[in-house]
């Protein structure tokens, strides 16, 4: 039995156990249980030339139709491929790396994010301009790594497995899908929320990530029960509490390797605070607030929604199909051997 199936069964048992508790155990708590998706064509920041956060349906569709997917211009995924006489794309051509994601495999959604009935042009809602208020001269060096260039050039570090991105090593999903600061990406943007009296589990379809968040009676109690800082866990040390009907999750001490590649980075002293509120029977409004004076000129807030879906969760068999990484490393060793000869 796979780990995914065993984990799902274990958490499902937790849901059944929670049903044995009296209704008063969940008094004032929002009901988060269910399967949801956050897929959309909205990005974290507002596109150039777009000023309003909220647009009408017609303009929302116009923006969606012109949105780049996987770094390619709108519609380019469906166009014919470029190639050399032997069928291999030329290094540096539009097909060399970006078309590794063709239209069959991508499923990012077809419209902008819909939050409480509004079409949104960015996840960032504060600052009002929809941009991340980065410091021009950060007070902390995250040792940021940009792996995107190799998709276009074919030139990348192949000295060993640790030189490749975390997602390609099947350690965590790409695109910040599991957060903190959970956002949809090219595909597998489905989540299962499982809520018990003292925990909330979020199973992320992308790359089989799982967040298991203990909940407490107050923010003070939650912060007093943090795990040892030396652990430096993937997705950080998350603790939760309820403020009325809203689940609040505060995360600190996120693994530095994750922060090197995250689209929502914080330094070791920064925090990300997430808020989950059940807006309707089919929608959870989700906010995350990033607070880190080492990297940003002010705290900033992003907002999107999880919409309930009838679609099933799929097991993301990453290592089982990860032929690229051993192929890259084996090819590099072969080239080194031939060069030495």
Indicate whether 152 and 199 sit together in one domain: yes
Residue 11 lies in a domain: no
Indicate whether 87 and 205 sit together in one domain: no
Q: What does each of the 341 residues of the chain score in pLDDT, given as a tens digit? A: 554 455 555 455 544 444 443 343 444 467 999 999 999 999 999 999 999 999 999 999 999 998 877 666 666 655 555 545 556 666 555 555 555 555 667 888 999 999 999 999 999 999 999 999 999 999 999 988 777 666 656 677 889 999 888 988 899 998 899 999 999 988 999 999 999 999 999 999 998 899 999 999 999 999 999 999 999 999 999 999 999 999 999 999 999 999 999 999 999 999 999 999 999 999 999 999 999 999 999 999 999 999 999 988 888 888 888 888 888 899 999 999 999 98
Q: Which of 246, 192, 205, 204 is nearest to 34 (CA)?
A: 192
Indicate whether 126 and 265 sit together in one domain: yes
Question: pLDDT at position 268, please?
Answer: 94
The domain tally of the chain equals 2
Residue 314 lies in a domain: yes
Strands 237-243 and 209-216, by their bridges, are: parallel
Q: Which residues span the domain enclosing 328?
A: 32-66+111-340
Indicate whether 166 and 132 sit together in one domain: yes
Q: What pTM was computed for the model?
A: 0.85
Indicate whether 49 and 83 sit together in one domain: no
Question: pLDDT at position 25, please?
Answer: 42
Indicate whether 92 and 233 sit together in one domain: no
CA distance 72 to 61: 18
Strands 199-204 and 190-195, by their bridges, are: antiparallel
**Cα distances (Å, whole numbers) of residue 268 to 8, 55, 93, 240:** 32, 37, 39, 19
Residue 22 lies in a domain: no
Please list, in sequence order, all residues whose beta carbon lies within 8 angstroms of the beta carbon of residue 6, skipping any fewer than 6 positions away: none
Indicate whether 78 and 196 sit together in one domain: no
Phi-psi label, residue 36: left if phi above 0, alpha if psi -120 to 50, beta otherwise: beta
Question: pLDDT at position 146, please?
Answer: 72
Residue 138 lies in a domain: yes
Question: pLDDT at position 321, please?
Answer: 80
Instruction: Check if the beta carbon of residue 325 is closer than 8 Å to that of residue 315.
Output: no
Indicate whether 214 and 96 sit together in one domain: no
Radius of gyration of the chain (CA): 21
Q: Which helix (H) or strand (E) holds 3?
A: helix 3-18
Residue 4 lies in a domain: no
Question: pLDDT at position 24, please?
Answer: 39
């Amino acid at each position: 039995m796979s780990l995914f199936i065993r984990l799902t069964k274990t958490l499902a048992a937790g849901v059944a156990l929670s049903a044995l508790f009296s209704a008063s155990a969940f008094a004032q708590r929002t009901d988060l249980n269910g399967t949801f998706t956050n897929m959309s064509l909205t990005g974290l920041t507002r596109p150039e030339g777009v000023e309003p956060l909220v647009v009408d349906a017609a303009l929302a569709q116009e923006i969606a139709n012109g949105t780049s997917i996987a770094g390619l211009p709108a519609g380019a995924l469906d166009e014919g491929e470029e190639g050399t006489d032997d069928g291999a794309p030329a290094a540096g051509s539009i097909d060399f790396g970006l078309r590794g994601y063709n239209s069959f495999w991508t499923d990012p959604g077809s419209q902008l994010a819909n939050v409480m009935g509004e079409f949104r042009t960015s996840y960032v809602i504060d600052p009002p301009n929809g941009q991340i208020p980065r410091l021009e001269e950060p007070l902390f060096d995250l040792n940021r790594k940009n792996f995107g260039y190799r998709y276009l050039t074919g030139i990348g570090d192949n000295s060993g497995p640790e030189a490749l991105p975390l997602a390609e090593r099947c350690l965590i999903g790409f695109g910040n899908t599991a957060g903190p600061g959970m956002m949809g990406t090219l595909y597998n943007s489905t989540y299962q929320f499982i809520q018990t009296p003292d925990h909330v589990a979020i199973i992320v379809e992308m790359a089989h990530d799982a967040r298991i968040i203990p909940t407490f009676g107050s923010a003070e109690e939650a912060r007093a029960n943090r795990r040892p800082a030396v652990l430096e866990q993937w997705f950080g040390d998350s603790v939760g509490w309820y403020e009325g009907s809203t689940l609040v999750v505060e995360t600190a001490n996120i693994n530095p390797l994750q922060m090197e590649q995250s689209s929502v980075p914080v330094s070791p002293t920064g925090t990300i605070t997430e808020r989950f509120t059940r807006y309707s029977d089919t929608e959870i409004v989700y906010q995350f607030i990033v607070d880190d004076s080492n990297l940003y000129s002010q705290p900033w807030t992003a907002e999107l929604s999880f919409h309930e879906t009838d679609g099933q969760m799929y097991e993301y068999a990453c290592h089982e199909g990860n032929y690229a990484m051993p192929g890259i490393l084996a090819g590099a060793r072969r080239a080194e051997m031939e060069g030495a000869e």
